[in-house]
């Protein structure tokens, strides 16, 4: 159980600090730590393959994309000053977020959750591959198509449209 507590600490504290920091780059770097904590959770829960996927996708790839995005939009690297409207929104965000947190905690704590008598059998990479290729073939293909389309879409969105220019600004 201490393992879980340490993982929770490693996951939650950087995430919370990241959401409070002024400098977006620092936030992104802290979130990498938080994502690594989530990978550790997967490890702890016995889903090693997921842990690796998490590290590869989040710690490796998404973090880089985020950093690139930050660098490409560098003029506003800090999140602006604490303007009045920002402060108000932050307070509203805290309030509403707190309400959601309370509701969720209440719901979780008031629900009796039976625990299975035996822990889930470890899923081997082999087993996972068989599952993906047999029962979930369609889903796998759809995910492949989705990723392709998303990549193309991202390229189209981010590519500078030198031909049209900003004429669609009404």
Partner 1 sequence: MILTPLHLCLLLSSALFCIGLIGALSRSSSILVLLGVELMLNAANLNFIAFWRYGPNPAAGTGVLFVLFSIAVAAAEAAVGLALVIAIYRHQRSIRLQDARRLKG
Partner 2 sequence: MSLPVQLLWLIPALPLLAAGIGSLTPRSGRGLASGAAIVAMAISFLLSCGALATALAQPAAHLVHNFAWFDLGGSAVRLGWLLDPLTAFMCVMVTFVGTLIFIFSTGYLHEDANFTRFFCFLSLFAAAMLGLLVANSLLLLFICWELVGLASYLLIGFWFHKPSAAAAAKKAFITTRIGDLGLLLGMLWLYDSTGSLLFYDGGQGVLEATALGGLVAQTTIGGLAVSTAIGLLIFCGAIGKSGQFPLHVWLPDAMEGPTPVSALIHAATMVAAGVFLVARVYPLMSADQGLAHVPVHALTVVAAIGAITALLGALIAVAQSDIKRVLAFSTVSQLGYMMLALGVGSWVAAIFHLLTHAFFKALLFLGSGSVIHAAHHEQDIRRLGGLRGPMRATFATFAIGMMALAGVPFLFSGFWSKEAILHAAHNWDVSHLPLYAGLAAVVLTAFYMTRLVAETFFGSPRSEEASHAHENSAVMTVPLILLAVCAVLLGFLGTPAYPWLQARLEGHTEVHGHPIFEGAGLLMLSIVLVAVGIGSGWALYGRRPRANANALDPIEGRLPGLFAVLRARFGFDELYAATVGRLNTAMAALSDGLDRYVWDAAVRFLAALGEFGGVVNREADEDVLNGGFDATNDRLRGTARSYSAAQTGGAHGYLRTVAVGFVLLVLIVMLGGGV
Residue ranges in 92-111 that form contacts with partner 2 under rule CB under 8 A: 92-93, 96-97, 99-100, 103-104, 106-107, 110
Structure tokens at 84: 């009045």
The minimum distance between CB 44 and partner 2, in angstroms, equals 12
The minimum distance between CB 43 and partner 2, in angstroms, equals 8
CB atoms within 10 A of CB 15: 18
* Owner of token pair 């449209």: 161
Give the span between the Cα atoms of 169 and 163, in whole angstroms.
15
Cβ neighbours of residue 91 closer than 8 Å, sequence gap 6 or more: none
Report the chain's terminal Cα–Cα distance, integer Å: 58
Contact (Cβ atoms closer than 8 angstroms) between residue 40 and residue 3: no
Closer to partner 2 by Cβ: residue 122 or 138: 122
Q: At 120, is the secondary structure helix, strand, or coil?
A: coil
Given partner 2, partner 1, none, residue 126, with its beta carbon under 5 to 8 Å by kind, binds: partner 2
The footprint of partner 1 on residues 61-120 (CB under 8 A) is: 61-62, 65-66, 68-70, 72-73, 75-76, 79-80, 85-86, 89-94, 96-98, 100-101, 104-105, 108-109, 112-116, 118-120
Residues at the interface with partner 2 (CB under 8 A): 43, 48-49, 52, 89, 92-93, 96-97, 99-100, 103-104, 106-107, 110, 122-128
């Amino acid at each position: 159980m201490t393992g879980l507590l340490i993982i929770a600490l490693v996951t939650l504290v950087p995430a919370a600090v990241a959401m409070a920091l002024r400098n977006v780059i620092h936030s992104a770097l802290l979130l990498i730590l938080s994502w690594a904590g989530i990978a550790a959770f997967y490890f702890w829960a016995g889903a090693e393959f997921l842990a690796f996927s998490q590290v590869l996708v989040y710690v490796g790839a998404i973090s880089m994309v985020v950093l690139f995005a930050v660098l490409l939009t560098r003029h506003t690297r800090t999140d602006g000053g604490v303007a009045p409207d920002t402060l108000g929104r932050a307070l509203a965000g805290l309030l509403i977020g707190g309400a959601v947190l309370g509701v969720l905690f209440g719901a979780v704590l008031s629900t009796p959750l039976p625990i299975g008598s035996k822990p889930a059998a470890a899923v081997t990479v082999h087993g996972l591959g068989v599952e993906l290729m047999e029962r979930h073939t369609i889903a796998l293909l759809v995910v492949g198509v989705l990723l392709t389309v998303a990549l193309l879409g991202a390229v189209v969105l981010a590519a500078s449209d030198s031909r049209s220019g900003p004429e669609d600004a009404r």
